[in-house]
Structures are given as structure tokens and as C-alpha cells.
Amino acid sequence: MIIRQAGADDMPAILAIHNDAIVNSVAIWTDTTVDLAERAAWLEGHERDGYPVLVAVDEPDGTSAGPRGAGGDRDGTVLGYASLSSWHAKSGFRHTVEDSIYLRPDATGRGLGKVLLGALLQLAREGGYHVVVADIEAGNAASIRLHETFGFENCGTVREVGTKFGRWLDLTTMRLPLT
């Protein structure tokens, strides 16, 4: 697999992964799917503000040669994407970023989340950020375990702050200091 910076050609695949998470999971706390123009604007905003968006891509020939750095052929299948974003808009939070990782349903359990999170954390360190935060739906044990693997600490859970599919959702916040 190749891990590389996402580009405009990746937006249809990212859109499909994103909308699948909206429709079929509580990972994204909204009930409304988005269109390609919204995802393109999201990518443009990340690029403008200097926040990375990465994709995990199968090798174009179908082989799995293992993770590689940025670059590579854009003809492979996008299996997942990950990004860093501003955690809060106020300037006092400018040294803190939030990570997000989303995979195609058929790509889970293959270690892609770990590879993507590792790459994001490297970029966060290179970007001089102080803390990476993960806001995770409290029932998402796989994401919580993934973040614990990298040393994120559980800062607590805020009960019933979101709703989806007719039920209340709890938010677990985790943090990893980088400096």
C-alpha cells in the first residue's frame, strides 16, 4: 500500500467513504450526506490552512508491498483517508490539532488505521504542533485502542452530547502531547 497526500482525483473515493460513515456509523455525528463539491471545498480548506489529508491506496497492480511514504501512482484503490484539522477555531488553540481516520468498510482490520495515524503523527510533529486530540464516539473501542497504541491518554467522556439513529452518544476525548 501507498500512503500519500490526497489530491482532487481522490475526492470521489473520499466522498464515498465519508458518506458511508455518515449513513452506517456513529463516527460522524451528522445525518446528512455531503456532495463532491463539499468534499472538494473541505480538501481545499485543508490545503489552504496547511493541514494534511492522507490516503491509503492499494498498489495499482494489486500487490501489497507494505507502507511507503508520500508520492506514488494515483491509479490504485483508495482504502481510507486521514486528516489533521484545527481542534478549535480560536487562536489560543493554534498548537493543537485533531486527527480523523476513516476506512472503507472492507478495508478494516488490515492495520491501515495504524499506518495512517502513524503518518499523521509524524506530520504533526514536523508541523510543530504541541498536542493531537482525538474526539471519539465512546463506543468505538477499536479507535480508542488504536489511539492508546500510540500513547494517547483518555481525558474523559462527556455523556449524551450527541445524537444519531435515535440514541444519545457519548464523546471520549483523548490526547497525545508531542513536545
| pLDDT at site 61 | 62
C-alpha 117/C-alpha 158 separation (Å) is 24
Domain ranges across the chain: 2-130
C-alpha 179/C-alpha 176 separation (Å) is 9
C-alpha 144/C-alpha 173 separation (Å) is 9
Question: What are the backbone angles phi and psi of residue 155, rounded to the nearest 5°?
Answer: -95, -10
CATH for the 2-130 domain, from 3.40.30.10, 3.90.420.10, 3.40.630.30, 3.30.420.140: 3.40.630.30
| CB-based contacts of 176, cutoff 8 Å, min separation 6 | 121, 131, 132, 134, 147, 150, 151, 152, 153
Q: How many helices (H) and strands (E) does the chain have?
A: 4, 7
Residues facing 82 on adjacent strands: 54, 101
* Per-position pLDDT tens, the chain of length 179: 899 999 999 999 999 999 999 999 999 999 999 999 999 999 999 999 999 999 999 977 655 433 333 333 456 899 999 999 999 999 999 999 999 999 999 999 999 999 999 999 999 999 999 999 999 999 999 999 999 999 999 999 999 999 999 999 999 999 999 98
Beta pairing class for 131-137 and 96-103: parallel
Q: Cβ(99)–Cβ(52) under 8 Å?
A: no
